[in-house]
């Protein structure tokens, strides 16, 4: 492979299109999973009441099955974002960026595993599960893992990426300030409404669409440069 071909391949690898596609897939799958869970588990029911589980178990299973695929897409989103940074990557903020993103995924998977375990146990011994208090305990742990710790990690992920954008200039400053504002809402407002968690996939979707637009704008220039090379 010639040097010009290697440069062309490298440019294609660093295109924001991959991040855009991965981010859009994550946003759609994760949002669908969150919405299915929110409408299937009413917030006003008592923690020791599992009657809703028999009626909505199918929706919950679907939500749990969507979650791993959204996680795969989010990993690609993180990977392409880091590739775009290249040599501009700051070790401090890049470490926080990568660590918080991986923690967000890990906590979501743990919460989903807890929910899946409760579903399986309820199908085998529903009365024992509820009367023993295991159901209430498991639901409480699942709530805190996903809606307290995972969402806070999402907020840290957004803050670190916004800071990287400010320091490198890879995105307009307005995106960084908007990211800070939305991250602050995630960090302090989840306790007031669980629907606030949709801010994160909505933000990823907006950023991904912006990446896609940037890619379409610069694609003719890249093609012209490849022809000249």
pLDDT tens digits, the chain, 229 residues: what are they?
444 444 444 444 455 677 788 899 999 999 999 898 888 776 554 445 566 677 777 888 899 999 999 999 999 888 878 777 766 666 777 889 899 999 999 999 999 998 888 888 877 777 777 777 788 888 888 888 988 899 999 999 999 999 988 888 778 889 999 999 999 998 887 666 678 889 999 999 999 888 888 777 765 544 444 333 3
CA 28 to chain CA mean position, Å: 10
Q: What is the largest distance, in Å, between two alpha-carbon atoms of the chain?
A: 74
Contact criterion met (CB below 8 Å) for 59 and 40: yes
pTM to 2 decimal places = 0.80
CA distance 62 to 70: 13
CA distance 187 to 202: 16
- How confident is the model at residue 226, as a pLDDT? 39
- How confident is the model at residue 190, as a pLDDT? 66
CA distance 226 to 229: 5
- How confident is the model at residue 125, as a pLDDT? 78
């Amino acid at each position: 492979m010639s040097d010009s071909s290697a440069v062309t391949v490298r440019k294609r690898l660093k295109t924001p299109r991959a991040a855009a596609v991965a981010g859009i897939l994550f946003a759609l799958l994760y949002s669908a999973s969150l919405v299915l869970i929110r409408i299937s588990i009413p917030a006003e029911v008592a923690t020791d009441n599992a009657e809703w589980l028999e009626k909505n178990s199918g929706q919950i299973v679907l939500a749990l099955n969507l979650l791993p695929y959204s996680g795969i897409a989010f990993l690609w989103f993180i990977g392409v974002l880091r590739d775009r940074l290249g040599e501009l990557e700051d070790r401090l903020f890049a470490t926080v960026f990568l660590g918080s993103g991986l923690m967000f995924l890990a906590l979501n998977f743990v919460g989903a595993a807890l929910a899946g375990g409760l579903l399986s146990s309820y199908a085998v011994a529903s009365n024992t599960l509820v009367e023993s208090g295991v159901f209430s305990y498991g639901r409480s742990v699942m709530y805190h893992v996903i809606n307290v710790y995972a969402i806070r990690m999402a907020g840290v992920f957004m803050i670190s990426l916004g800071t990287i954008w400010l320091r490198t200039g890879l995105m307009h400053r307005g995106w960084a300030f908007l990211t800070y504002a939305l991250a602050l809402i995630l960090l302090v407002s989840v306790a007031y409404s669980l629907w606030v968690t949709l801010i994160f996939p909505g933000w990823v979707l907006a950023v991904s669409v912006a990446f896609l637009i940037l890619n379409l704008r610069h694609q003719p220039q890249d093609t012209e440069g490849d022809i000249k090379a």
